[in-house]
Structure 1
Amino acid sequence: MASIWLEGPLVLGLGATHLVLLGLTFIVTTLTVVPGRATLLQSGVHLVLFAAFLFLAVSP
Protein backbone atom coordinates (compact mmCIF):
# COMPACT_ATOMS: atom_id res chain seq x y z
CA MET A 1 0.00 0.00 0.00
CA ALA A 2 2.79 2.41 0.86
CA SER A 3 4.51 1.82 -2.48
CA ILE A 4 1.45 3.23 -4.25
CA TRP A 5 1.82 6.60 -2.55
CA LEU A 6 5.61 6.79 -2.59
CA GLU A 7 7.33 7.90 -5.76
CA GLY A 8 10.55 5.92 -5.32
CA PRO A 9 11.03 2.22 -4.74
CA LEU A 10 10.05 0.83 -1.35
CA VAL A 11 12.94 -0.96 0.36
CA LEU A 12 12.14 -2.86 3.55
CA GLY A 13 15.74 -3.72 4.40
CA LEU A 14 14.90 -7.38 5.01
CA GLY A 15 16.71 -10.43 3.75
CA ALA A 16 15.06 -13.35 2.03
CA THR A 17 14.65 -15.31 5.26
CA HIS A 18 13.01 -12.43 7.05
CA LEU A 19 10.68 -11.79 4.10
CA VAL A 20 9.52 -15.42 4.26
CA LEU A 21 8.88 -15.07 8.00
CA LEU A 22 7.00 -11.81 7.38
CA GLY A 23 4.81 -13.52 4.76
CA LEU A 24 4.14 -16.46 7.07
CA THR A 25 3.20 -14.05 9.84
CA PHE A 26 0.70 -12.29 7.59
CA ILE A 27 -0.86 -15.60 6.56
CA VAL A 28 -1.10 -16.92 10.13
CA THR A 29 -2.48 -13.59 11.36
CA THR A 30 -5.13 -13.61 8.65
CA LEU A 31 -6.16 -17.15 9.55
CA THR A 32 -6.35 -16.15 13.21
CA VAL A 33 -8.23 -12.87 12.81
CA VAL A 34 -10.82 -13.91 10.20
CA PRO A 35 -12.67 -16.44 12.43
CA GLY A 36 -12.69 -13.94 15.29
CA ARG A 37 -11.16 -16.11 18.02
CA ALA A 38 -7.66 -17.41 18.50
CA THR A 39 -7.06 -20.88 19.85
CA LEU A 40 -4.15 -21.99 21.98
CA LEU A 41 -2.62 -23.75 18.97
CA GLN A 42 -2.76 -20.59 16.84
CA SER A 43 -1.13 -18.52 19.55
CA GLY A 44 1.56 -21.19 19.83
CA VAL A 45 2.23 -20.88 16.10
CA HIS A 46 2.64 -17.11 16.54
CA LEU A 47 5.12 -17.68 19.37
CA VAL A 48 7.10 -20.18 17.28
CA LEU A 49 7.29 -17.69 14.39
CA PHE A 50 8.47 -15.00 16.80
CA ALA A 51 11.08 -17.32 18.30
CA ALA A 52 12.32 -18.23 14.81
CA PHE A 53 12.62 -14.56 13.93
CA LEU A 54 14.57 -13.79 17.10
CA PHE A 55 16.87 -16.78 16.56
CA LEU A 56 17.57 -15.83 12.95
CA ALA A 57 18.04 -12.14 13.83
CA VAL A 58 20.67 -12.96 16.45
CA SER A 59 22.57 -15.61 14.49
CA PRO A 60 22.30 -14.91 10.77
Structure 2
Amino acid sequence: MKTMYVNQLNNETQEAIRQELHTNLIDILTGNELTEAINDAMDSRLSDLEDTININQYV
Protein backbone atom coordinates (compact mmCIF):
# COMPACT_ATOMS: atom_id res chain seq x y z
CA MET A 1 0.00 0.00 0.00
CA LYS A 2 2.97 2.35 0.49
CA THR A 3 3.39 2.43 -3.27
CA MET A 4 -0.13 3.73 -3.88
CA TYR A 5 -0.56 7.30 -4.97
CA VAL A 6 -2.23 9.55 -2.41
CA ASN A 7 -4.94 10.46 -4.94
CA GLN A 8 -5.90 6.76 -5.14
CA LEU A 9 -6.87 6.73 -1.47
CA ASN A 10 -10.39 7.53 -0.28
CA ASN A 11 -11.34 11.18 0.19
CA GLU A 12 -11.33 11.00 3.98
CA THR A 13 -7.77 9.66 4.03
CA GLN A 14 -6.65 12.24 1.47
CA GLU A 15 -8.04 15.04 3.61
CA ALA A 16 -6.30 13.67 6.72
CA ILE A 17 -3.01 13.55 4.80
CA ARG A 18 -3.55 17.09 3.49
CA GLN A 19 -4.14 18.35 7.04
CA GLU A 20 -1.08 16.56 8.40
CA LEU A 21 1.06 17.95 5.59
CA HIS A 22 -0.21 21.44 6.30
CA THR A 23 0.52 21.10 10.01
CA ASN A 24 4.05 19.83 9.39
CA LEU A 25 4.96 22.31 6.65
CA ILE A 26 3.36 25.55 7.89
CA ASP A 27 6.42 26.41 10.01
CA ILE A 28 8.76 25.91 7.05
CA LEU A 29 6.85 27.21 4.03
CA THR A 30 4.35 30.00 3.42
CA GLY A 31 2.00 31.18 0.70
CA ASN A 32 2.47 29.68 -2.74
CA GLU A 33 5.40 27.51 -1.62
CA LEU A 34 3.18 25.82 0.97
CA THR A 35 0.33 25.34 -1.49
CA GLU A 36 2.64 23.93 -4.16
CA ALA A 37 4.36 21.57 -1.71
CA ILE A 38 1.03 20.20 -0.49
CA ASN A 39 -0.29 19.82 -4.06
CA ASP A 40 2.90 18.03 -5.11
CA ALA A 41 2.66 15.73 -2.09
CA MET A 42 -0.96 14.91 -2.88
CA ASP A 43 0.17 13.78 -6.36
CA SER A 44 2.94 11.61 -4.87
CA ARG A 45 3.18 8.04 -3.71
CA LEU A 46 2.45 7.52 -0.04
CA SER A 47 5.99 6.20 0.46
CA ASP A 48 7.39 9.52 -0.81
CA LEU A 49 5.87 11.27 2.20
CA GLU A 50 7.61 9.17 4.88
CA ASP A 51 10.06 11.97 5.70
CA THR A 52 7.29 14.54 6.10
CA ILE A 53 4.41 12.73 7.82
CA ASN A 54 3.80 9.48 9.68
CA ILE A 55 2.37 7.27 6.94
CA ASN A 56 1.96 4.21 9.17
CA GLN A 57 -1.60 5.19 10.04
CA TYR A 58 -2.50 5.27 6.34
CA VAL A 59 -1.03 1.89 5.27
TM-score band, normalised by shorter chain: 0.3 to 0.5
Based on CA coordinates, which of the two structures has the bigger radius of gyration?
1
Higher relative contact order, chain-length normalized (CA < 8 Å, sep 6+) = 2
Length-normalised TM-score, structure 1: 0.37
